[in-house]
Amino acid sequence: MPRHPTTAADHSAPPPTASAPVQVVENNLLTPVALSSISLHGAKNTRRSLLDHVFNPLVRESASADTTFGDVLARLSIANQKLARYDIFKEDSIRVFISEAQEQPQPGLHLDRTNLDVSVSVKEKSRLVLSAGTDFGNAEGSAYTNAVIRNILGGAETLSVNASTGTRTRSAYNAVFSTPVNGNPDLRLSLEGLRSSTQKPWASHEEQLTGANLRLAYLAENGDSHALAYSGVWRQLTNLAATASPTVRADAGDSLKSSIAHTFTRDRRDRAGNPMLSQNGWLLRTVSELAGWGPLRGDVAFCKSEVEVSGAVPVLSRAQGGLPSGISVGGGLRMGVLYPLPTGYSLTGPAQPSRINDRFQLGGPTDVRGFKQCGLGPHDGTDAVGGDVYAVGSVNMLLPLPRAGPESPLRIQLFANGGRLVALKNESKAKDGGGGGAVLDSIAVVNGITSAMGGLADGLPSLAAGVGLVYAHPVARFELNFSLPLVQRRGEEARKGLQVGVGINFL
Amino acid sequence: MSNASTTTTTTTTTTTTTATATSSSSPSTWRQAMPVPRPLQQLFDLVPLITYSANTLPARSPSTTPDQLPTLYVFASDEDARFGAPSFNPSCLKWQTYLKLAGVRFHITPSTNHASPSGALPFLLPARSSPTDSPSPIPSSKLQHYALSRGPTPPPQLTSLRLEAYQALLDLPIRNAWLQSLYLEPAHAALLDELYVAPASSSGWIRASLRSQLRRAAEAEILRTSSSPTAAVADVDAVYAAALEAFEALAGLLAESETGWFFGAAQPTLFDASVFAYTHLMLRYLGPAEEEKGSAQAPFVPARLGVVVGCAGGGELEEHRERMLKRVWGDPPVDREGVRRSIE
C-alpha cells in the first residue's frame, strides 16, 4: 500500500538517481490496485471518443484482480505516449497524478485493493499555427509559408496548407487533411491536393503537376513504417528551352498518372546523437508503384520498383575503451526497375515505352557525387533523358576533424561512388523505322528489360571518387567535396573539382 | 490555339548543386579571377581514366533520321504523320503545303503546342549533324525564308498591293468562322474532341479541362478580332456572314486569274497555300452532315463552312483546292497495306 498517497509519474523514463518519490513508486510496484477514476484536464477541444481510444484499454486491462501498481504505471505510460503521438498536445505538458481514491469505493468492489484516482493533465497545442521559413530538400532550397489547423473536429485531424517557391520548384501549393484511423495515432489516413511547377534544367523543360493522393500510413511498434498511397496526377511538360532535344519534345504535353504505391522503411540507424550524421546502424527502404494497369487507367502504365540499403559501422577507439571515436565506415546500394505494362487488364498486350517524367534519373551531390545533377545515364544532346533500370552504390569513410573531435558535427569524408542508368531500347524499332511513341509488344519489353539489366554490368559502372568535408546541421546535411570522375560514358556529365551538396538523404 | 505555352530561357543554375573550380555559369570571368593551378589542371586532364561509348536512348526517343531530313512538328494523327498526309490544323497545313511547294523534303511528327519554342505549332527541327548536337528549331515566322533559301523549287513571291487586304480576309473573318464552327458549334464537338482533345490524354478529367481551355481561347480570339471588341458575346451570325463575304471575294479574285493561282502567279504561292489550308480543311471536316449529303434541298447551315466554300464563286474555290491537292500531294498516298487512301 502506498505510504504517500500522491505521487507524480512523468511519461518519460525516471532519472537514474533514485529520488524519494521514485523510491516510493519502486517500493509499491507489486501492490495490487484498482482504478477508481480517470480524469483528463486541459483537453478542451478534443472529442471524448478519441480519448476513449486511449483510456478504454487502460480501464479494461486494469479491471482484473491481479493488476498491480506497476502494471497501471506501464499502461499509463503507453497511453501517454499515444497522447503525445496525436501531435495535438504540447510536448512535456502531459502530467499524470495518481492518488488514493477519496470516495469510498462501491461496496463489494475491490475492497482488497487500493483504489486509485488517476488524473492526467495536458495542454493543447494552439489550433492554428502559421509559419514561414526556408527549407532544404535534396539539391533544392526553398522558402515556404504554412498554415496548420490542428484538431479541427476534435479527433486529432489536421489540415495543413502550404505554399512555397524554391530554386527549382517555381511554385508549389498543397493542402493535406490527415486523420488518425479509429483513434490510432500510428495509423493515419490523409488526403492531399497539390499543384506545382518545377524546372528541370537538366532536361530543358518545366513540369507542372495538378493532382491528389490518398495515403494510409502505418507506423509499427518496432519502428517500421508502411505507406500505401493512391495518386492521380495530371502532368504537363511545358516551357521547353530552345535547345530541348527531340526526346524531350516528343514527351511534351499532357499525361495522367494514376497509380498505387507502397513504401516500406525499416530504419535502424542510430540517430540519437545527430540525425544527419548516423555512424551506426542500417536502413532498408523499398518503393513499389503500379501505374495505369487494370482499373487504374490513365495515360501511362508501368510497374516500378526500387530498393535501397545503406548502413554504417562505427570504428571504436581502443584508447578510449571502446567509446565512439567518430570514425565510421559506411556504404549504400540502391536499385530500381521500371517495367512498362499494357493498359487495361492484359499482361501481354502492347505497352508504351516509358516517358521522361516516369524514368529514373541519377547523378548529383546527394546520390552519385562527382557527377552533375542527373548527370548519369542516357543523354540526348545535353538533356538527361533518364533510364528504366539503375543500380548505384557508394562506400565512404567518415573521420573526425583533428581539433574538433567526435562530438562535433564536422567530419572528413573519403568516398567512392558509381552507378549505371540504362534505358530500355526498342530493338524492333530499327525494322519499323518508326519514330517516337512506338509501342512495344510483350516480348520486346521482356527482351528490352533483360538487355537493359545486362547493360548494368556492361563494363565498369560510371565511377567517381574524392574527399570532402561534411557538416551535419540538425536541419540538413552539407557537404563540400573534391571529386574526380574515374569512369564515365560519353554524354554523361561529370564534375571535376569542387561540388557542394545540401540535402536530407544522402546515399 | 489555347494552352499557349511560352518558352522561357530561364536556366537557373542552383547554388546548392553547382560550384566547381573548373567550370561555372560564367566561365570567362570565373577563370580570370581564379585560374586553375597547373598541377590541378594536369590532374583534371588525366581523368576520366576510362570513357565508354554513349548510353543508348530510351525507346520513346525519336530515332535520329537516317536520311538526315528535318522534321516538321504539326497537329496530326499518328497515321497521317506516317504518310505525310495533310495536317488538320490550318496553320500547320499552310506551312506543310508551302514547304512541299518549295520542294523541301521533311518528315512530319504529331506534336502539341507544349513542344514548340513559340508556344504554337508548326515549327521545323533541322536534322542533326551528330547525335549530340541540338539544332535550334525554326518557328513558323521564319519558315518562308527557310523554304526560299533551302527549297529547290522556291515558289514565286507576290508583290501585289492587294495581297495584304486579301491576307486579312484569311486572318480575320475566315479564321474566326473556322474557330466558331469547329470549337464552339455543338454539332462539331465530337470532331473537336477527336482532333485536339482526345490525343492529349485518355483521362476524362484532363479532356474536360483542355476542352474548356480550347473553347475559352477560341471565344476570346473571336471577340478580340471581331468588329465590336467590347461585346461580351460574339455575334455568331455576323461571324459567318463575314466569312461568306470573304470567300466570295476570294473566289472573285481567283476568277480574275488566268493561271488558276491567285494573283495570276505562274506557280502556286504562299497565298495559295494559305487559302488551301482553310478551304481543304473546311471541305474535308466541316462539310454537309451525313444525312444531308446528295440531297439538293439540304437546308443552308452557315456553320457548315464546307458548304459555304463549295458554293463560293460557283465552285471556284473548291476547284482551286482540288488543283492544290493534286499538285502538292499528287495521287492519293499509298498506305502500309498498299491501299490507296483518299485524303478526302
pLDDT digits 0-9 by tens, B291-322: 555 555 556 677 788 888 888 888 889 899 99
Q: What per-residue confidence (pLDDT) applies to A218?
A: 96
Q: What per-residue confidence (pLDDT) applies to B237?
A: 86
8 Å CB contact between A150 and A127? yes
The parts of chain B modelled with pLDDT lower than 70 are: 1-33, 63-67, 131-132, 227-232, 289-300, 331-344
Q: What per-residue confidence (pLDDT) applies to A92?
A: 81
Q: What per-residue confidence (pLDDT) applies to A58?
A: 86
Single-letter residue type at A241: A
Cβ–Cβ contacts within 10 Å for residue B106, how many?
A: 19
Give the predicted TM-score (pTM) of the model. 0.84
Q: Chain B within 8 Å of A357 (Cβ-Cβ)?
A: no
Residue A81 parent element (H or E): helix A69-85
CB contact under 8 A, B58 and A388: yes
Q: What per-residue confidence (pLDDT) applies to A425?
A: 83
3-class SS letters over A283-341: EEEEEEEEECEHHHCCCCCEEEEEEEEEEEEEEEECCCCCEEEEEEEEEEEEEEEEEEC
Residue among A299, A294, A328, A333 nearest A314 (CA): A328
Q: Chain A within 8 Å of B61 (Cβ-Cβ)?
A: yes
Residue A144 predicted with pLDDT over 80: yes
Distance from first CA to last CA of chain B, Å, rounded?
Answer: 24
ipTM of the complex: 0.82
Distance from CA of A465 to the nearest CA of B (A): 11
- Which member of A238, A430, A498 has the closest CB to residue B20? A498
Distances in whole angstroms, Cα of residue A13 to Cα of each of A18, A81, A91, B67: 12, 12, 15, 76
Single-letter residue type at A266: R
Exposure string of A394-429, with b = 16+ CB inside 10 Å and e = fewer, is: bebbbbbeeeeebeebbbbbebbbbbbbbbbbbebb
Query: How crowded is the C-beta side of B64, counted as CA atoms within 13 Å?
Result: 15
- What is the per-residue pLDDT across A199-256, written as a single tens digit (0 to 9) for each? 999 999 999 999 999 999 999 989 899 999 999 999 999 999 988 998 999 999 999 9
Q: Indicate the range of A9-18, A111-120, B218-227, B255-264 predicted with least confidence.
A: A9-18
Chain A, 99-118: which have a CB under 8 Å from a chain B CB?
none
Residue B223 parent element (H or E): helix B204-225
Q: What is the DSSP letter of A351?
A: B
CA-only gyration radius of chain B, Å: 25
Return the C-alpha cell found at B27. 566561365
CB contact under 8 A, A490 and B5: no
Distance from first CA to last CA of chain A, Å, rounded?
Answer: 56
8 Å CB contact between A421 and B55? yes
A456/B94 Cα distance (integer angstroms): 47
Q: Chain A within 8 Å of B117 (Cβ-Cβ)?
A: yes
- Which member of A141, A251, A459 has the closest CB to residue B52? A459
Looking at residues A148-172, what average pLDDT do you find? 90
Q: Which residue do the cell numbers 484538431 mark?
A: A151
Confidence category of residue A339, pLDDT binned at 50, 70, 90:
very high
8 Å CB contact between A362 and A334? no
Share of chain B above pLDDT 90, in %: 41
Q: What per-residue confidence (pLDDT) applies to B291?
A: 58
- What is the per-residue pLDDT across A358-378, written as a single tens digit (0 to 9) for each? 999 999 998 899 999 999 999
Peptide bond into B48 cis (omega under 30): yes
Single-letter residue type at A399: L
User: Who has greater pLDDT, A304 or A27?
Assistant: A304
Return the C-alpha cell found at A219. 507506423
Exposure string of A463-499, with b = 16+ CB inside 10 Å and e = fewer, is: bbbbebebbbeeebbbbebbbbbbbbbebbbbbbbbb
Q: What is the mean pLDDT of chain A?
A: 86
A29/A70 Cα distance (integer angstroms): 4
Q: What per-residue confidence (pLDDT) applies to A60?
A: 86
Q: Chain A within 8 Å of B8 (Cβ-Cβ)?
A: yes
Confidence category of residue A343, pLDDT binned at 50, 70, 90:
confident
- What is the per-residue pLDDT across A439-464, written as a single tens digit (0 to 9) for each? 888 888 888 999 999 988 888 999 99
Q: What per-residue confidence (pLDDT) applies to A4?
A: 39
User: Who has greater pLDDT, B12 or A47?
Assistant: A47
Q: What per-residue confidence (pLDDT) applies to A394?
A: 95
Q: What per-residue confidence (pLDDT) applies to B294?
A: 56
Residue among A20, A11, A167 nearest A90 (CA): A11
- Which member of A136, A256, A388 has the closest CB to residue B206? A256
Residue A392 predicted with pLDDT over 90: yes
Q: Chain B within 8 Å of A375 (Cβ-Cβ)?
A: no
Q: What is the DSSP letter of A32?
A: B
A126/A85 Cα distance (integer angstroms): 16
Q: What per-residue confidence (pLDDT) applies to A288?
A: 97
Residue A296 predicted with pLDDT over 70: yes
Chain B, 120-149: which have a CB under 8 Å from a chain A CB?
125, 131-134, 136-137
Exposure string of B170-186, with b = 16+ CB inside 10 Å and e = fewer, is: bebbbbbbbbbbbbbbe
A422/A444 Cα distance (integer angstroms): 16
Single-letter residue type at B144: Q
Looking at residues A116-140, what average pLDDT do you find? 84
DSSP A153-203: TSSS-EEEEEEEEESSEEEEEEEEEEEEETTEEEEEEEEEEEEEEEEEGGG
B190/B110 Cα distance (integer angstroms): 20
A373/A494 Cα distance (integer angstroms): 9
What residue of B is the nearest CA neighbor of A373? B17
Confidence category of residue A258, pLDDT binned at 50, 70, 90:
very high
A343/A430 Cα distance (integer angstroms): 24
